[in-house]
Amino acid sequence: MKYLIANWKQNKGLFDISSWLDLYFDNIEGIDISKVKVIICPPFTLINELVVNLSQRDHLFIEIGVQNISKYPSGPHTGEVGFEQLPEQVKWVIIGHSERRIDGEDNESINEKIRLSLENSKIPIVCFSEIDQYNEVSDEFSSQVFFAIEPLSAISTMGVGKPETIDNIKKVYDNVLSENFIYGGSVDDKDITNYINEPYIKGFLVGGASLDPIKFAEITRKIAQ
Ligand code: PGA
């Protein structure tokens, strides 16, 4: 089983969900979906629409995640969204994405968010760009989370990402004590073929290419082969 995570970042609106799903499902016809778990992480504002749209279709292999979570259970925290406010269909949580770290997300809050996620039976996808950031994740969580290596030079923030080489990804993996090892950074429908045969890469976190349902379907198809 491989994991394919779509990180839509701050993109898409209410009226995009249905057409994205229509095109995606049309383009994954015939693939063996038992080989890949697809997780879509939309902005908070689209979660309910995605829940409703997926429930009307016959494709239960798609799960839903969020791109961040409040480090507080609830209360006077302007602009935050916490677990109590999410529908039960949300199963995954991206934590510590580099685009949040540059906005001040620190290791303490990342560990707190992981703890809250596990307490709420959600699976954290903990992003790190350097091994120091991985080392800051408390050992008590290591066996319960997915780790996503996202080298800063690889993610397409500002549109300049360049996919990481297999050698460099393997070097990082050799320092990570987790079998739940995900790669993220400019993966698209073409260069995915460079990575799918690496057995230690258990999945992919895809930003830009996940916005296009046809490209994302092609990535799904290649992973499922
Ligand atoms: P990208 O984003 O695929 O656009 O590089 C990946 C990520 O940052 O999650």
Tokens of 70: 């409040």
Q: Whose CA is nearest to atom 7 of ligand 1?
A: 207
Return d(Cα 79, Cα 100) in angstroms, integer.
Answer: 15
pTM (whole model) above 0.85: yes
Strand-pair partners of 206: 6
Amino acid letter for position 148 = A
Q: What is the pLDDT of residue 191?
A: 92
The per-residue pLDDT for range 28-37, each reduced to its tens digit, is 999 998 999 9
The per-residue pLDDT for range 136-155, each reduced to its tens digit, is 999 999 999 999 999 998 88
Q: Is 80 helix (H, G, I), strand (E, B) or coil?
A: coil
Residues of the chain with pLDDT under 70: 158-159
Amino acid letter for position 49 = E
* CA nearest to 31, candidates 193, 219, 205: 219
CA 31 to chain centre: 21
Q: What is the pLDDT of residue 159?
A: 65
Q: What is the pLDDT of residue 158?
A: 61
Q: Whose CA is nearest to atom 1 of ligand 1?
A: 207
Testing ligand 1's pocket by substitution, the residue of 94, 125, 205, 215 carrying the most ligand atoms inside 8 A of its CB is 205
Residue 185 alpha carbon, nearest atom of ligand 1: 5
* Sequence-ordered list of residues with C-beta below 8 angstroms from that of 26, at least 6 positions apart, any chain: 217
